[in-house]
Structure 1
Amino acid sequence: MQREGGHRREGGDHDAEPVESVLDELYTAPPSDFVALREEHAKAARTAGRKEDARRIHAARRPTLAAWAANLLTRSRPEESRRFLDLGQALREAYRTLDADGLKELSAQRRSIVSALSRQAALLAREAGHPLSEAGQREVESTLRAVLADPDAAARWAGGRLEGSLTPPSEFPPDTVRAEPAPRARPARARTPAAGRAKDELAERRRKRQQDVARAAQAAERAERQLRDRRAEHADADSALRHTGDELGRAREEVSSAERRLRRARQRLERAERERRESQEREHSAADALDRAAHEAREAARRVDRLAGRGEQYGGHD
């Protein structure tokens, strides 16, 4: 299926694929990165000679933060989004035949699932580093209500390229909100074949209505369960992150302490090596002095011996 506004060249879809991928990337990227990324891709397309692609890329408009979160929801949760779109189709169909009591019950289910999905969108945005304000989350809710009520809005959201939030109609379109009037009391009369068929058709519509309401309730319950699961996963991840942060802090302190001890040990080693070198130099100097003293002592002894020998010689002549 070709996306809305898709570009098709004579050579087929092959040349159009890059620009579709680029647009998908643009509307997935955070709004703060949108303009720079758009200009980068537009420039690359112009350089490659793809002027029409460059024009389409450059014409893309940066989404609001709420619209980006709604796009993020449909792209990050495709299965839940598909069920939500199916729910919208079922709701629009159900509104053709629901009575006042059914409308009340179905509206409650619709509010529940819209609230659950809008919280999922807010959670995804926060995890991506761009938390929504309360006003932004209300815009996401407005978009989701529009998706349920309006098939055109549903198609735009499914494309994942919203630039702004969607506004739902005040109520479903008039041709789909028509509730069946309560049957008027009529005089008892024999049941005709036409009356029997009408009664059977009414029973069939009521049965289908109940099925639609049940499907809507099941979809809302699934969304609530998934939201609880996501919250639990987020809480576990947050707890693990805090625990890891504490462990990292302790490890860093241990490393710092070890580095300080290592620096002190190196300083002691350098001091000991310096003192050893000085001791070696003093030892060498003392050894040299000892050698010189020993030499001088031997020389002195020889002189004494020579002098003593001469004395004896002189004494022998007397």
Structure 2
Amino acid sequence: METLNARSSRRGGAGQDVESVLDELYTTPPSDFVARREMAAAAAKTAGRVDDARRIHAARRPTLAAWAANLLLRSQPEESQQFLQLGQALRAAYRTLDADGLKDLSAQRRRVVSALSRQTAQLARETGHPLSESVQQDLEATLRAVLADPDAADQWAAGRLVNALTPPSEFHLGTAPPAEKPGTRKAPPTRASARTKNELAERRRARSEQLARAQEAAEAAEQHLREERARRADVDAGTAGARAN
């Protein structure tokens, strides 16, 4: 499989758009990053694109975990887009649901992050850059941050992470109306209290819909990752069989 870096070298950096150069640069393994950056900057400078050369030269080398996250985004656009959509659905649910309603979602979230992390580790191995256990942990932290934090999601979606991302300690839960204390006497119904009941009913309906959307997104992401693992297993088995013959 031809890498992004190989395609870049084959085309030559002089005629490339600076954004394309930077996109490809951030999928270059960190060990090759500086050499590739200087080569691309020199090509841009030779072509008279001084501002582009300055931008390329200013690019910072990513950590191995950040590179792996960038590689995932560029190499698996469908899975990555689905993961971003899952984050949107989860954040909407976590803003409105109480802790009991989020138990299943939390388990699904962990499964999706773990599966996507393993898939990314496989991509890294295929490029000849296996991830250590600590790097894998940083990668999983980055993926958790993408699900929980919209700013982190935007950073990852740009495909140019320099460092691993840190997830918030927890999703920001919505504020539920305070529970009534035992023995509290209920006020007689009024127009205002009827309106409040209607509002609460509408909130419950919205919460149920958001939970359903988040669960559907999580299940779809899990199913897609299972299918991708099965596809890769078939490819690996076919390759091994061809080598044996």
- TM tier, smaller: 0.7 to 0.9
Aligned position for 1:139: 138
Once the 2 structures are TM-superposed, how far is the Cα of residue 181 of structure 1 from its aligned partner? Answer: 4.1
Tell me, yes or no, if the aligned pair for 2:29 and 2:67 is still in contact at 8 Å. Answer: yes
1:93–1:107 distance in 2 versus 1, CA, 3 Å: same
Aligned position for 1:115: 114
Gaps of 5+ in 1: 1-16, 248-318
Where in structure 2 are the equivalents of 1:78-89 lying within 5 Å?
A: 78-89=77-88
SS of aligned partner of 1:28: coil
Aligned position for 2:199: 201
Once the 2 structures are TM-superposed, how far is the Cα of residue 73 of structure 1 from its aligned partner? Answer: 1.5
Once the 2 structures are TM-superposed, how far is the Cα of residue 215 of structure 1 from its aligned partner? Answer: 2.2
How many residues matched? 228
Determine whether 1:160 maps to 2:156. Answer: no
Aligned position for 1:246: 244
Q: Please tell me the root mean square deviation across aligned C-alpha atoms, in Å.
A: 2.0
1:208–1:87 distance in 2 versus 1, CA, 3 Å: farther
Q: 1:177 aligns with which of 173, 179, 184?
A: 173
Q: TM-score, normalised by structure 2?
A: 0.84
CA deviations 1:79-104 (Å, max 9, x no partner) are: 32223222222322322221120233
Once the 2 structures are TM-superposed, how far is the Cα of residue 240 of structure 1 from its aligned partner? Answer: 1.6
Structure-1 separation of matches of 2:147 and 2:106: 11
Structure-1 separation of matches of 2:83 and 2:226: 17
Tell me, yes or no, if the aligned pair for 2:98 and 2:173 is still in contact at 8 Å. Answer: no
SS of aligned partner of 1:95: helix
Structure-1 separation of matches of 2:17 and 2:81: 25
Structure-1 separation of matches of 2:102 and 2:177: 13
Structure-2 separation of matches of 1:87 and 1:69: 20
1:239–1:92 distance in 2 versus 1, CA, 3 Å: closer
Aligned position for 2:19: 20
Aligned position for 2:188: 190
Structure number with greater Rg is 1
**Aligned-partner residue type, residue 194 of structure 1:** A
Aligned position for 2:12: none
Tell me, yes or no, if the aligned pair for 1:146 and 1:153 is still in contact at 8 Å. Answer: yes
Once the 2 structures are TM-superposed, how far is the Cα of residue 161 of structure 1 from its aligned partner? Answer: 0.5
Aligned position for 1:219: 217
Tell me, yes or no, if the aligned pair for 2:93 and 2:214 is still in contact at 8 Å. Answer: no
Relative contact order, higher structure (CA 8 A, sep 6+): 2
More helix by share: 1
Tell me, yes or no, if the aligned pair for 1:28 and 1:71 is still in contact at 8 Å. Answer: yes
Tell me, yes or no, if the aligned pair for 1:122 and 1:132 is still in contact at 8 Å. Answer: yes
**Aligned-partner residue type, residue 175 of structure 2:** A
Tell me, yes or no, if the aligned pair for 1:71 and 1:161 is still in contact at 8 Å. Answer: yes
Structure-2 separation of matches of 1:86 and 1:224: 13
Q: TM-score, normalised by structure 1?
A: 0.66
**Aligned-partner residue type, residue 93 of structure 2:** A
Structure-2 separation of matches of 1:211 and 1:30: 42
Once the 2 structures are TM-superposed, how far is the Cα of residue 41 of structure 1 from its aligned partner? Answer: 0.8
